[in-house]
Amino acid sequence: MLERLFQIKAHNTTVKTEVLAGVTTFLTMAYIIFVNPSILSGAGMDYGAVFVATCLAAAIGCLIMGLWANYPIALAPGMGLNAFFTYGVVLGMGNTWEVALGAVFLSGIIFILISIFKIREWVINSIPSTLKLGIAAGIGLFLAMIGLKNAGIIVDHPATLVTMGDLSQPAAIYALLGFFIIAALAHLKVTGSVMIGILVITVAAMLLGHNEFGGIMAAPPSIAPTFFALDIAGALDVAMISVIFAFLFVDLFDTSGTLIGVAERGNLLDKDGKLPRLKNALLADSGATVAGSLLGTSSTTSYIESASGVAAGGRTGLTAVVVAILFLIALFFAPLAGSIPDYATAGALIYVAVLMAGSLSKVNWDDVTDAAPVLIAAFTIPLTFSIAHGIALAFVSYALIKLFSGQGKEVSVAVYALAALFIVKFVFFP
C-alpha cells in the first residue's frame, strides 16, 4: 500500500528513512505548537482551542501534501502571519479575532482559485524579487520586535517610542538565554534546537520558581471556543482588503519559495527546474489555510524546516504523513504547552527573525531603486506592527521610485495597479 501511495522505490528511499525524516522535520518545527497559541491568545482567543486548532490544521495540511501531492513538505500555521493576525489586524486595527479569521478564510479561498486557474505564475512573476526580499526581512524584524517586547527587553517610551527595558528582570534574562541556547544548538546542527531551547528555559524557570508546572499529558482541550467562529461578513469590509491581500501575498510567496527550495535540495525538480504537481502542492497549502480558519488559527503554510527532513533522506509524501501523525499525538500534550511562558518562546521568535532577515544579503544594494523599497518594507513592517502596511508602502515606493528615475518600463502592470490601489486606500480609507 505504501509503495502504491508514495512510490518509495522510484524515489530511491525506504520506509524507515521516510519515517526518520518525518520525525526530524517534526522536531525542527514542533515549536509552533507552543508559539502559535501564545501569540494568538494575545488576540483574545482561547489558548487551549488554538492549541488544538494548530495541531489539527498542521495535520490536515501535512496529510493533503503527503497523500495528494506526494512531497516530503510539512505545513503548520505560519510564523509572521500569526503575529500579524494578533498585533496588526486585531490589536492594531481594532478588529475582532473572528473577523481576522474571516480574512484568513477569504485569503485561502482566493489562493485556491489562483491555483486552480493557474493565475499563480502570472502573480509570482509580476512581483519583483526585490519586494519579496524586503517583505521577508520585514516579517523577520517584526517577529524580533514581538519577541523583545514580550520579554520586556524593549519597552515603550513617551519621548523615543521605544527604549531598553530592565534586563535584570527574569523574563528578559530567560529570553536572552533561550535565544543564545537556540542559536548555539542551531550552529552545532542539533535537531530540534528551537524546541530544545524553549523547553530548557521553561524547565529552568520552573526549578527557580518563576514558572508553574501544568503537567505533561491530558485529554485535548475543547476546540469549541474557536470552531467555526470566523466572521466572513465582517472581513468583507473595504478596510480589510489590504489585510486579506497581505495574508494571501505572504502565504503565496512563502509557500512557493519553500516548495522550490526544499524540492531543489531533495532533487525533486524536473529537468526544466520546475516542480511537478505544483498545483497539488499549492492546493494542499491553500486548503489547509481554509481548514485552519474554520478550526481557529491563522494562515497555514509550508515550512522551510521541511529541508531538515529532506536532508535526512525524506523524498516522498510518507515523510509529511509521519509529521501529520506526530501533530495528532501532540494533541495530548496540552498541559505541557500551557506551561510554556511567553519569555520562553521569545528567544525562538528572535531566532526565526535572524533566519528571515538573511534575505537582505541577496539585495542589490548598488541600485538604490531596488534597495530603497527593500528598506521601506523591512522597517515599516515592524515599526507599524503591520505586514499589510509594510507591503503597501513597499509597492508604492517601488513603483514611484522606478517611475521617477526613468525606469518605469521595468515595473509590471500588476505592481502599478496594486500601488495605485494602496494609494487610494491610504488617502480615502486610512
Pair 332, 220: CB distance under 8 Å: yes
| Grid coordinates given for 194 | 528551537
Tell me the residue type at 327.
Answer: F
pLDDT over 70 at 210, yes or no: yes
Q: In whole angstroms, what is the distance from residue 392 CA to residue 394 CA?
A: 5
Name the pTM for this structure. Answer: 0.85
The pLDDT value given to residue 129: 81
4-51 per-position pLDDT tens digit? 888 888 888 899 999 999 998 998 889 999 999 999 999 999 999 999
Provide the Cα torsion 211, 216, 221, 223; round to 10°.
80
Nine cell digits for residue 103: 480574512
Between 124 and 153, name the one with better pLDDT.
153
Identify residue 289 by its one-letter amino acid code: T
Residue type, 176: L
pLDDT for residue 404? 95
Report percent pLDDT > 70 for the chain: 98
Mean pLDDT of the chain: 90
Give the separation between CA 260 and CA 90, rounded to whole angstroms: 32
Q: How far is Cα 353 from Cα 139, in angstroms, rounded to an integer?
A: 8
For 151-180, the pLDDT digits (tens) are 999 999 999 888 999 999 999 999 999 999
pLDDT of amino acid 194: 87
* Sign of the dihedral defined by the CA atoms of residues 242, 244, 245, 246, in that order: positive
Q: Report whether pLDDT(270) > 80.
A: no
End-to-end CA distance of the chain: 56
> For 43-57, 197-211, 272-286, 310-324, which range has the lowest pLDDT when averaged over its residues?
272-286
Q: Measure Cα distances from 398 to 4, 76, 410 in Å.
A: 49, 31, 10
Give the number of other CB atoms < 10 A from CB of residue 274.
10
C-alpha distances in Å from residue 336, one per residue of 209, 340, 345: 17, 7, 13
Q: Rounded to the nearest 10 degrees, what angle do helices 170-187 and 342-357 cross at?
A: 40
**Single-letter code of the amino acid located at 338:** G
Q: What percent of the chain has pLDDT over 90?
A: 55
CA dist 95 and 177 (Å) reads 35
**Residue 273 scores a pLDDT above 70:** no
pLDDT in the model for residue 274: 74
Which three-class secondary structure state does DSSP give residue 76?
strand
In this structure, which amino acid lies at residue 421?
Answer: L
Phi, psi of 289 (to 5 degrees): -65, -45
Rounded distance between C-alpha atoms, residue 241 and residue 255, angstroms: 21
CA distance 333 to 216: 6
Looking at residue 317, its pLDDT comes to: 92
Which grid cell is 261? 527550495
Q: What are phi and psi of 72, to 5 degrees?
A: -80, 45
Q: Quick check: 120 pLDDT over 80? A: no
Express each pLDDT in 359-399 by its tens digit.
Answer: 899 899 999 999 999 999 999 989 988 888 888 899 999 99
> Each residue of 57-109: pLDDT tens digit?
999 999 999 999 999 999 999 988 999 999 999 999 999 999 999 999 999 99
